[in-house]
A and B are shown apart, each in its own frame.
With several copies, the nearest count.
Chain A
Amino acid sequence: MQKGISVKKLINDPQSVVAESVEGFGLAHADVVEIRTDPLYVLRVGGAVTGKVGLVSGGGSGHEPLHAGFVGHGMLDAAVPGAVFTSPTPDQIAPALIAADGGAGVVAIVKNYTGDVLNFETAAELAEAEGTQVRSVIVNDDVAVEDSLYTAGRRGVAGTVAVEKIAGAAAARGADLDAVVAVAEKVIANVRTMGVALSACTVPHAGRPSFDLTDDEIEIGIGIHGEPGRHRIAAAPADAITEMLLTPVVDDLALASGEKVLLLVNGMGGTPLSELYIVYRQARSLLEARGVEVSRSLVGNYVTSLEMQGASVTVLRLDDELTTLWDAPVHTAALRW
């Protein structure tokens, strides 16, 4: 087997990974979340805030701290974890939607994968039947998936953090359902991401790495489910790789000189923070060379793919509204200011 891959894990039974991990998470962060089991979901401590639009997200596990790490004040009201890399089921999602409803309706933030979209769709129907108004937004920031005519459409990846943070801030300051959906859609329209993998990851139940990569190969255009990327190239210096990631992002956004952006360098889980800052340094310098101002930054492991080594570069075009909402207070397990 190739290097860069470990099949060893700090787990007990592969079947109970999600339940045990979420339980530990709930114990460690009892100041911001409470855990509901059977069905399993994570709720903001104290439950829905009366009169506030609720925000719910979810998806397969393995991307921690996404989504549970973003439940709390000023971001999500509930998160629904599926099995590792497997979208949760409607009977988990629907109760979370209902629990997050403070009477002003709920926005479901769904990453664009067939499974997530279908399961959230059904869940929304179930919740609506119980009297909870649900609106969904679909995050699809991954520019690696080029032509949506020939694919299931762009994937939702690291840009999800920006959607959750900004929509969460809008809801916290009292925006109504339409307004929260509108600002979420605005983020989605202005955020793009591209990722690289230096190694694969190992899904607990699979017991072997998600793809095979030799010592001098890397995958460009990966998603966050350990899937192979669009193409494989020879290993290259960080500066060159960063340019390969940033260029399609900037081009797709058609960023012009003078614009301001949020630059998010996201680790896939197994890459040292120090390397993320090397990528950040180069991405920032390339943006500045185009006259783009990096007015906000985030560097760290936010939307991961288990222990995969690699990173993604996300750019969000900012205006005053989005900047103010980004800066608004947030208090969750993984994001706080």
Chain B
Amino acid sequence: MTLGPEWALDWTRLTAQAMTEHRAELIELDRQIGDGDHGENMFRGFSAVVAKLDALAEPPTTVGDVLKLVATTLMSTVGGAAGPLYGTAYLRAAKVTMVDDLDGAGVVAMLEAGLEGIVVRGKANPGEKTMVDAWTPAVAAAVAAARDGATPTEVLTAAAGAAEQGAKDTKDLLATKGRASYLGERSIGHIDPGATSSALVIRAAAETAARVAG
């Protein structure tokens, strides 16, 4: 089983659905330690992405085509910190997925490129209570799964579980990057919204992969 452009479209639409469903939750998380807009930002961005997909004349021929469209749309509609960070992540991921089909190694490369994009833009290290703390364990889990010969679905499922755990674990961290850092010690005890939305993105990838895999 490999993952192609059809999957990338499904993944993107399911992500948009997840952002709609979790809009209020992400707003609430951001309200606690940020400025309360993360859910609205992601919802606005992925709604725009879906509108773009609906208007596509030609079906995309590679995974990378889809991810590039997501990248540019998020960049121009999300704003805030999340816009450029997700935008760059998708852009970097697109560059390494300009292919028909992704195998396990291809999925790993995609996730690695995404994380790299976030780090290049935002310069956060793991442990600073940002989306990096979802992506870092996700990539590690993906790498480990692929090394064991896992299918793309298994790689993504491992990554999603690790991302969710990573997001949960941000609760005990002291924020030193992003808006939550202004709170100092008061940031401890709250889950990071960007890490949470990151886990939703990766979980959507795993779920749609599982559907494609049947």
Direct contact of A and B (CB under 8 A): yes
Residues of A that sit less than 8 Å from B by CB: 60, 82-91, 113-115, 118-119, 121-122, 144-146, 150-152, 155, 203, 205-206, 208, 210-211, 223, 225-228, 230-231
Chain B residue contacts of A151, Cβ below 8 A: 176-177, 181-182, 184
Known: A119-B83, A155-B182, A226-B35. A83 touches B40 (CB 8 A): yes
B77 contacts the other chain (CB 8 A): yes
Let me know if A144 and B182 touch, CB within 8 A: yes
State the Cβ distance, B47 to closest chain A Cβ, in Å: 10
14 A-B contacts (beta carbon < 8 Å): A60-B37, A84-B37, A89-B75, A89-B83, A91-B75, A113-B81, A115-B84, A118-B81, A150-B181, A151-B184, A205-B27, A206-B37, A227-B182, A231-B186
The prevalent SS among residues of A at the interface is: loop
B76 contacts the other chain (CB 8 A): yes
State the Cβ distance, B90 to closest chain A Cβ, in Å: 14
- In the complex, chain B residues 19-35 whose Cβ is within 8 Å of any chain A Cβ: 27, 31, 33-35
Chain B residue contacts of A85, Cβ below 8 A: 35-37
What is the CA–CA distance of A88 and B27 in the complex, to the nearest angstrom? 18
State the Cβ distance, B133 to closest chain A Cβ, in Å: 15
> Which chain B residue shows the least CB distance to A120?
B84
- In the complex, chain B residues 45-99 whose Cβ is within 8 Å of any chain A Cβ: 75-85
B149 contacts the other chain (CB 8 A): no
Known: A151-B176, A211-B31. A115 touches B181 (CB 8 A): no
Chain A residue contacts of B174, Cβ below 8 A: 150
Chain A residue contacts of B81, Cβ below 8 A: 87, 113-115, 118
Additional A-B contact list (17), CB under 8 Å, known A87-B83, A115-B81: A83-B37, A86-B79, A91-B75, A114-B179, A115-B79, A119-B79, A122-B75, A144-B182, A152-B177, A152-B179, A206-B27, A206-B36, A208-B31, A223-B182, A225-B34, A227-B35, A227-B182
Chain A residue contacts of B79, Cβ below 8 A: 60, 82-83, 86-89, 115, 119
Contact with A along B106-147 (1 / 0, CB 8 A): 000000000000000110000000000000000000000000
B41 contacts the other chain (CB 8 A): yes
Among A60, A114, A206, A223, the one with the most B-chain Cβ atoms within 10 Å of its Cβ is: A114
